[in-house]
């Protein structure tokens, strides 16, 4: 019996464990200081009431023989798939309900989608980025190359025509940088993918935070239906981190090697997945109802105000940053050329504020720092007051 020895090539990412350890050590040494966590990657506001109501109703239906639901469809209930398609239409993108696969979250799909591709593909991953893309592809033994980004391109990596890739991950608005592509930039990626017969895996998990006139979906771009799969999540859209629901959109015209990728993904899900909980799908559909959208956007608006508190402070301090407007994340250059762990220690020791060192997201993050908008107004205001005191 041989284990998958690609696991030996996976470098354990202790980013959040190290952050927690250092924070706890500081708390122990300074029992009277109030630590403020601006590194939170999880939502903190509760679910919209209309979503809770729908989920409870779904649960209650399982109590009675007449309304009981057994195995769901692998690809999701029609009503949930239609709700997603209607949501896309609300921002001007046309997809068909039967192109939508409901899942237990974008992270599962981001990893599992690899099953439909050969190991023998070169994967292009932006740097910095959500570490899951890298780990999932190391695990399956694929060759990984990086698309570096920096201050020069405002952390929006662009395609390099000298580089040949088969699978391209794009996350926009990006985690951790908060930077979001405009239409022309996404078009350049679509053109590059089409030229290379590549497939873009487009992670739109933060699309609900977009305020500017930027694409909410890769399918807003001409040609994307021939080269892109979109993965999205209700985690940040509707606070579903603990409810677990996402969706993946595969256009029916997207084919490679004589196969529709839609068919391959259906076959993969039919073999290794058994659909999403009835009550969760009821809740997901409620998210996309008129009242659901109104209530969910109230939460997003609260987080946006926090993001603005942080980015206004950085503007005032003259610190370079990306994100904050179309994203819950703010990514800024560490002052005084500090590296990201040095700055982490400095900020914790001198201001009692915790963030996330950029080095945890890739080489290009080594002098950058991520803060998030998921704490309360009060704590966020207090944190920026302390930061200002340090740097003005």
In the range 251-310, which residues lie near its own copies by CB under 8 A?
256-257, 259, 261, 264, 267-268, 271-280, 283
Residue 28 binds its own copies, judged by CB under 8 A:
no
- CB nearer its own copies, residue 63 or residue 337: 63
- CB nearer its own copies, residue 168 or residue 214: 168
Which pairs from 189-193 meet CB under 8 Å and 24+ separation? 189/158, 189/159, 190/218, 190/221, 190/222, 190/223, 190/224, 190/227, 190/228, 191/223, 192/159, 192/161, 192/168, 193/168, 193/227, 193/228
In the window 40-99, what residues touch its own copies (CB under 8 A)?
Answer: 42-47, 49, 52, 55-56, 59-60, 62-65, 68-72
In the window 184-223, what residues touch its own copies (CB under 8 A)?
Answer: 196-199
Residue 105 binds its own copies, judged by CB under 8 A:
yes
Return the closest-CA partner of residue 368 out of 392, 390, 337, 346. 337
Tell me how far, at minimum, the Cβ of 175 lies from its own copies, in Å: 14
With CB under 8 A as the contact rule, the residue among 75, 127, 166, 207 that binds its own copies is 166
Tell me how far, at minimum, the Cβ of 317 lies from its own copies, in Å: 30
Tell me how far, at minimum, the Cβ of 2 lies from its own copies, in Å: 4
- CB nearer its own copies, residue 177 or residue 269: 269
**Contact 249/204 with Cβ under 8 angstroms?**
no
- CB nearer its own copies, residue 278 or residue 331: 278
- CB nearer its own copies, residue 99 or residue 166: 166
Q: What is the 3-state secondary structure (H, E, C) of 298-320?
A: HHHHHHHHHHHHHHHHHHHHCCC
Stretch that binds its own copies, among 178-186, 234-242, 321-329, 380-388 (CB under 8 A): 234-242
DSSP codes of every residue in 36-61: EE----S--SPPPHHHHHHHHHHHHH
With CB under 8 A as the contact rule, the residue among 102, 116, 180, 218 that binds its own copies is 116
Tell me how far, at minimum, the Cβ of 121 lies from its own copies, in Å: 6
Total residues contacting its own copies by CB under 8 A comes to 77
- CB nearer its own copies, residue 240 or residue 369: 240
Give the span between the Cα atoms of 262 and 270, in whole angstroms: 12
Give the span between the Cα atoms of 62 and 80, in whole angstroms: 18
In the window 330-349, what residues touch its own copies (CB under 8 A)?
Answer: none
Q: Two tokens at 286?
A: 């409620």
Q: CA dihedral in degrees (80, 303, 42, 75; nearest 10)?
A: 10
């Amino acid at each position: 019996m041989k284990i998958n020895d690609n696991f030996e090539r996976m470098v354990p990412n202790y980013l959040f464990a190290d952050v927690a350890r250092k924070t706890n050590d500081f708390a122990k040494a300074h029992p009277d200081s109030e630590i403020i966590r601006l590194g939170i990657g999880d939502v903190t506001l509760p679910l919209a009431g209309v979503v809770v109501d729908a989920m409870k109703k779904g649960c209650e239906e399982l109590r009675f023989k007449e309304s009981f639901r057994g195995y769901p469809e692998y690809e999701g209930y029609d009503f949930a798939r239609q709700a997603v398609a209607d949501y896309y239409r609300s921002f001007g993108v046309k997809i068909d309900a039967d192109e939508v696969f409901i899942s237990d979250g974008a992270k599962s799909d981001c990893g599992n989608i690899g099953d439909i591709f050969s190991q023998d593909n070169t994967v292009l991953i932006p740097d910095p980025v959500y570490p899951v893309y890298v780990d999932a592809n190391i695990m399956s033994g694929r060759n990984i190359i990086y698309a570096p980004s920096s201050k020069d391109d405002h952390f929006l990596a662009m395609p390099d025509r000298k580089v040949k890739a088969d699978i391209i991950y794009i996350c926009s608005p990006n985690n951790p940088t908060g930077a979001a592509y405009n239409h022309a930039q996404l078009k350049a990626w679509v053109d590059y993918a089409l030229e290379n017969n590549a497939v873009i895996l487009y992670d739109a998990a933060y699309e609900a935070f977009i305020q500017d006139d930027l694409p909410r979906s890769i399918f807003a771009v001409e040609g994307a239906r021939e080269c892109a799969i979109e993965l999205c999540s209700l985690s940040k859209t509707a606070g579903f981190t603990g409810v677990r629901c996402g969706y993946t959109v595969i256009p029916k015209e997207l084919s490679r090697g004589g196969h529709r990728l839609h068919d391959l993904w259906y076959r993969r899900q039919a073999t290794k997945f058994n659909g999403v909980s009835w009550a969760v799908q009821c809740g997901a559909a409620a998210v996309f109802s008129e009242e659901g959208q109104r209530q969910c956007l109230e939460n997003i608006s609260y987080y946006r105000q926090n993001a603005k508190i942080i980015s206004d402070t950085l503007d005032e301090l003259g610190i370079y940053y990306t994100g904050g407007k179309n994203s819950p994340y703010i990514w800024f250059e560490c002052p005084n050329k500090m590296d990201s762990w040095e700055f982490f220690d400095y900020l914790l020791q001198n201001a009692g504020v915790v963030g996330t060192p950029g080095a945890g997201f890739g080489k290009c993050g080594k002098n950058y720092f991520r803060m998030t908008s998921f704490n309360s107004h009060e704590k966020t205001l207090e944190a920026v007051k302390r930061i200002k005191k340090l740097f003005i």
